[in-house]
């Protein structure tokens, strides 16, 4: 790389052309003490997940400016983090080519992305081959299989299912749960996780039904839930179906506790769409803005920029960026392999990098944070409050 840059410098000098000079002025010449540290950011800022992707980018930028304003990476002479953002367009093929392009086109020290597990799985494959570490808040357990460059600091999908089942006991001593899920890979995998754990958690499942995603009307489905005699309902749904389901519950005269998991449910947009009907609904997240003093501070900053509270994935992403900064600081290098080594020995229990439920981050050999745990949340007064388990709870549960 050094040789390449020197060659480039020679070319610039030799030609002295304005064309080259202007073309290269955007690319910092290497070899100086405080060269920036390039971090790749892969998010879907167009396509079906665009809105969430843009929230992620806002959070990533906030995190980088927090680190840079505090003096950057000290072991690299105060080097600044430089975020290189790429749009993966909510599409697996684009994710593959964009990850490749980012790695070959820029000298990256690490990557974070991509919100959706389906996209992150592809990006992490590419990173694995290119030997660049990737850190992610995606929850698929598949990300922890056969990978040594992928780091997942938050709770896994399998842990989410367990927490959901445990939370059903908050609303009834003998929970009778109706599980409705969209008939897609996401819906089936998540609901099967719930089904497998139900017996060992002592929860009875009285209805287990896939439905066609993108329906015109939620009333027939809820009529079926009503007939099942369930007193709690888990809905594994994307935002559109969930809005319809929640809006139809009251119309159908259904008296039932709802746990809608994660995803679109924990976004400010959900509350905007269903309003007061969201009050009391429960979900599960890997991060929430009320878990620590640090997270509250980030939430305030984020609100100033976007006007919305800091959502699950965005908050986790700020913590992830601080974990990367911690690793780069200790590696005292921008070399991705050294950053990977430093990440694998990361062990933080204070500051923004430890801003995770459980308050500590240390990766096991499978890249999973051994202290990672999910939080049960509930919509209360237009905000998401952490209510479960007891040692994380910041608000008491609102009985509906």
Partner 1 sequence: MLETVLQAVVNGLLIGGIYALVSIGVTLIFGVVKIVNFAQGEFVMIGMYISYYLSTQFGIDPVVSVLISMPILFVAGVLIQHYLIRRVLGLNDLPQIFLTFALSLLITNLSLMFFTANYRTIHTWYSDEALHLGGIYIPYAKLVSFVLAMVLSGALWLFLRSTDLGKAMRAASQNRDVAQLMGINPNRVFAVALGIALALAGAAGSLLMPFYPAYPMVGQVFVLMAFVAVVLGTLGNVLGALVASLLMGVAESLGIQFVGADSGLIVVFVLLLVTLALKPSGLAGGWRK
| CB neighbour list of residue 293: distance below 8 Å, 6 or more residues apart | none
CB of 190 to partner 1, least distance (A): 15
What is the SS3 assignment for 61-129? Answer: HHHHHHHHHCCCEHHHCCECEEEEEEECCCCHHHHHHHHHHHHHHCCEEEEEECCCHHHHHHHHHHHHH
CB of 23 to partner 1, least distance (A): 32
Chain positions contacting partner 1, by CB under 8 A:
48, 50-51, 180, 183, 209-212, 214-217, 219-221, 223-224, 226-227, 239-240, 243-244, 247-248, 250-253, 269, 272-275, 277
CB of 211 to partner 1, least distance (A): 4
CB of 242 to partner 1, least distance (A): 10
CB of 50 to partner 1, least distance (A): 6
Query: Can you tell me the distance from the alpha carbon of 108 to that of 77, in angstroms, rounded to the nearest whole number?
Result: 18
CB of 284 to partner 1, least distance (A): 22
CB of 233 to partner 1, least distance (A): 12
3-state class of 175 per DSSP? coil
* Long-range own/partner contacts, residues 93-96 (CB < 8 A, 24 or more apart): 95/42, 95/119, 95/122, 95/123, 96/122, 96/123, 96/125, 96/126
DSSP string, 306-328: HSSPPPHHHHHHHHHHHHHHHHH
3-state class of 244 per DSSP? helix
- Nearest Cα to 380, choosing from 364, 396, 367? 396
Phi, psi (degrees; rounded to nearest 5) at 151: -125, 130
Taking the least distance from each CB to partner 1, the nearer of 25 and 51 is: 51
Tell me the Cα Rg of the chain: 23
Taking the least distance from each CB to partner 1, the nearer of 41 and 243 is: 243
CB of 251 to partner 1, least distance (A): 4
| CB neighbour list of residue 347: distance below 8 Å, 6 or more residues apart | 360, 361, 362
Pairing of strands 204-211, 176-182: parallel
Taking the least distance from each CB to partner 1, the nearer of 242 and 387 is: 242
Query: Can you tell me the distance from the alpha carbon of 306 to that of 302, in angstroms, rounded to the nearest whole number?
Result: 6
Taking the least distance from each CB to partner 1, the nearer of 62 and 221 is: 221
Taking the least distance from each CB to partner 1, the nearer of 75 and 240 is: 240
DSSP state of 160: H
Taking the least distance from each CB to partner 1, the nearer of 75 and 223 is: 223
Pairing of strands 347-348, 361-362: antiparallel
Taking the least distance from each CB to partner 1, the nearer of 17 and 212 is: 212
CB of 140 to partner 1, least distance (A): 23
Residue pointed to by tokens 């290497």: 30
Taking the least distance from each CB to partner 1, the nearer of 308 and 335 is: 308
Taking the least distance from each CB to partner 1, the nearer of 29 and 227 is: 227
Q: Which two tokens stand for residue 143?
A: 């990300």
Taking the least distance from each CB to partner 1, the nearer of 226 and 297 is: 226
Note the Cα 236 to chain centre separation in Å.
Answer: 17
Sheet holding 176-182, edge to edge: 204-211, 176-182, 232-236, 257-259, 282-285, 375-380, 383-388
């Amino acid at each position: 790389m050094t040789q390449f840059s020197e060659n480039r410098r020679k070319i610039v000098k030799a030609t002295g052309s304005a064309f080259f000079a202007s073309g290269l002025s955007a690319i910092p010449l290497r070899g100086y003490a405080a060269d920036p540290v390039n971090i790749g950011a892969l998010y879907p800022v167009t396509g079906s997940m665009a809105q969430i992707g843009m929230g992620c980018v806002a959070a990533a930028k906030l995190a980088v400016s927090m680190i840079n304003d505090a003096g950057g990476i000290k072991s690299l002479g105060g080097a600044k983090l430089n975020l290189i953002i790429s749009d993966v367009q909510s599409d697996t093929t684009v994710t593959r080519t964009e990850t490749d392009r980012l790695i070959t086109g820029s000298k990256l020290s690490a990557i974070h992305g991509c919100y959706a597990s389906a996209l992150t799985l592809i990006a992490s494959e590419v990173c694995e081959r290119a030997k660049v570490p990737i850190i992610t808040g995606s929850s698929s357990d598949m990300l922890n299989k056969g990978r040594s460059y992928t780091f997942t600091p938050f709770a896994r999908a399998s842990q989410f299912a367990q927490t959901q089942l445990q939370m059903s006991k908050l609303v009834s001593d003998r929970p009778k749960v109706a599980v409705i899920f969209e008939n897609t890979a996401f819906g089936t995998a998540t609901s099967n996780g719930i089904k497998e754990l139900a017996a060992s958690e002592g929860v009875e499942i009285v209805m287990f039904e896939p439905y066609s995603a993108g329906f015109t009307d939620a009333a027939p489905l809820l009529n079926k839930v009503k007939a099942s005699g369930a007193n709690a309902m888990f809905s594994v749904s994307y935002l559109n179906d969930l809005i319809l389901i929640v809006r139809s519950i009251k119309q159908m005269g259904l008296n039932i506790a709802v746990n809608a998991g994660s995803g679109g449910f924990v976004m400010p947009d959900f509350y905007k769409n269903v309003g007061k009907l969201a009050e009391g609904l429960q979900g599960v997240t890997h991060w929430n803005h009320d878990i620590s003093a640090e997270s509250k501070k980030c939430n305030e900053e984020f609100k100033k920029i976007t006007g919305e509270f800091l959502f699950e994935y965005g908050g986790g992403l700020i913590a992830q960026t601080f974990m990367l900064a911690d690793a780069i600081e200790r590696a005292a290098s921008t070399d991705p392999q050294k950053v990977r080594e430093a990440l694998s020995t990361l062990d933080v229990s204070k500051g923004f990098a430890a801003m995770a439920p459980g308050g500590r981050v240390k990766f096991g050999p499978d890249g999973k944070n051994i202290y990672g745990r999910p939080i049960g949340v509930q919509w209360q007064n237009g905000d998401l409050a952490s209510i479960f388990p007891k040692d994380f709870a910041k608000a008491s549960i609102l009985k509906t």
